[in-house]
């Protein structure tokens, strides 16, 4: 399958839970009334579009129906698609890769979201593009995380800078940047600990890592990517708010979109957070991690 067909397939559960349900509701409705709006609102919330964004979308429908004097309920999905497209925008947000110097990326997120796997896949893709990549095992809280990153390093042929379990993550980042300079690397990707995002000590640790990176490479990290698991729905939005307040997240990587009916969270993220979704994951292979194209996402979501 081509990418669009794979995206459509990956969004099948979300499409059925959101667009399929909305289509069923309007097809069975004899008229546009408050009961219909209530059903649409409930469906949007259940698809993890979020209460605030769901209310906004339904209010938009109300105004459009009144303004355009629409009486046919079956016109509502088209209006909804157009508004979601406006919210999502059309432009892909590319990774901020430096053309003439070292690019440093910091990857954050709670445990279990696919953070280390995302780093490995991203490293593989960057290497295939001809860039020299180095990984920093900054999740020193868990020996398993260090080992997992080393496995990805071996698999992709990318060097990994590591310290012992319990070491200072900022020291790992410092050593990785020094190694990158001595080895002529183009990109350093720094893994970080993923303990609960509500823990203030973790956030302070991330701030320290960021300060050290900025001290060694002024203006870095050039990307601070937050990895979110789409299957967690609205909890992903709360994680994004917590991490962005601590480390100024520049982009979101949304994983496991193919494993959930909660893909509506992408819409909530676009409207409620001023952070672009830069990458999405819809499968296990490295090529299943792709730049996020919002227009393509909306088309795939609404194409049955």
Q: How confident is the model at residue 142 (pLDDT cuts 50, 70, 90)?
A: confident
Q: Is the pLDDT of residue 130 over 60?
A: yes
Of 65-79, 175-189, 191-205, 251-265, the range with the lowest mean pLDDT is 191-205
Domain spans of the chain?
Answer: 3-88, 103-293
Of 2.60.120.1440, 3.30.360.10, 1.20.120.140, 1.20.210.10, the CATH number of 3-88 is: 1.20.120.140
Query: What are 223-260's pLDDT values in tens digits?
Result: 999 999 999 988 999 899 888 888 889 999 999 988 88
* Pure H helices in 140-250: 143-156, 169-183, 200-216, 234-247
Q: What is the mean pLDDT of residues 139-155?
A: 93
Residue 226's nearest CA partner among 240, 214, 210 is 240
* DSSP for 273-295, written as a single string: -S--EEEEE-SSSGGGEEE--HH
Question: Tens of pLDDT along 62-108?
Answer: 999 999 999 999 999 999 999 999 999 888 999 999 988 999 999 99
What pLDDT is attached to residue 198? Answer: 54
pTM: 0.92
The answer to which of 167-171, 189-193, 266-270, 281-285 has the lowest mean pLDDT is: 281-285
Fold match, 3-88 / 103-293:
no
Instruction: Report residue 197's pLDDT band, with 50, 70 and 90 as the boundaries.
Output: low
Model confidence at 195, pLDDT cuts 50, 70, 90, reads confident
Contact status, residue 239 vs residue 226, Cβ threshold 8 Å: yes
The per-residue pLDDT for 199 is 66
Q: Tokens 């900022």 map to which residue?
A: 170
Angle, vertex CA 296, rays to CA 295 and CA 299, nearest 5: 90
Domain 103-293 homologous superfamily, CATH: P-loop containing nucleotide triphosphate hydrolases (3.40.50.300)
Q: Is the pLDDT of residue 177 over 80?
A: yes
- 119 pLDDT more than 70: yes
């Amino acid at each position: 399958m081509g990418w669009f067909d794979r995206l459509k397939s990956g969004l099948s559960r979300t499409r059925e839970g959101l667009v399929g349900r909305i289509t069923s509701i309007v097809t069975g409705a004899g008229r546009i009334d408050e009961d219909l709006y209530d059903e649409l609102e409930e469906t949007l919330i259940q698809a993890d579009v979020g209460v605030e964004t769901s209310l906004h979308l339904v209010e938009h429908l109300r105004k459009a129906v009144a303004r355009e004097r629409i009486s046919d309920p079956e016109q509502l999905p088209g209006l909804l698609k157009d508004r979601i497209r406006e919210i999502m925008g059309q432009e892909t947000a590319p990774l901020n890769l430096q053309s003439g110097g070292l690019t440093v990326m910091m990857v954050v997120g709670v445990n279990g979201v696919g953070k280390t796997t995302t780093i490995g896949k991203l490293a593989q893709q960057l290497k295939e593009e001809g860039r020299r990549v180095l990984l920093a095992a900054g999740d020193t809280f868990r020996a398993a995380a260090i080992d997992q990153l080393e496995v990805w390093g071996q698999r992709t042929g990318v060097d990994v800078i590591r310290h012992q379990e319990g070491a200072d993550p900022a020291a790992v980042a410092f050593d990785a940047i020094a190694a990158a300079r001595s080895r002529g690397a183009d990109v350093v990707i720094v893994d970080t600990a993923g303990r609960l995002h509500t823990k203030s000590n973790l956030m302070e640790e991330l701030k320290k890592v960021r300060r050290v990176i900025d001290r060694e490479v002024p203006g870095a990290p050039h990307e601070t990517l937050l990895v979110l698991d789409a299957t967690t729905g609205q909890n992903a939005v709360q994680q994004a708010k917590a991490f962005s307040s601590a480390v100024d997240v520049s982009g979101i990587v949304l994983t496991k979109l193919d494993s959930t009916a909660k893909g509506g969270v992408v819409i909530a993220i676009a409207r409620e957070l001023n952070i672009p979704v830069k990458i999405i994951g819809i499968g296990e292979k490295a090529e299943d991690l792709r730049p996020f194209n919002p227009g393509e996402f909306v088309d795939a979501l609404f194409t049955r």
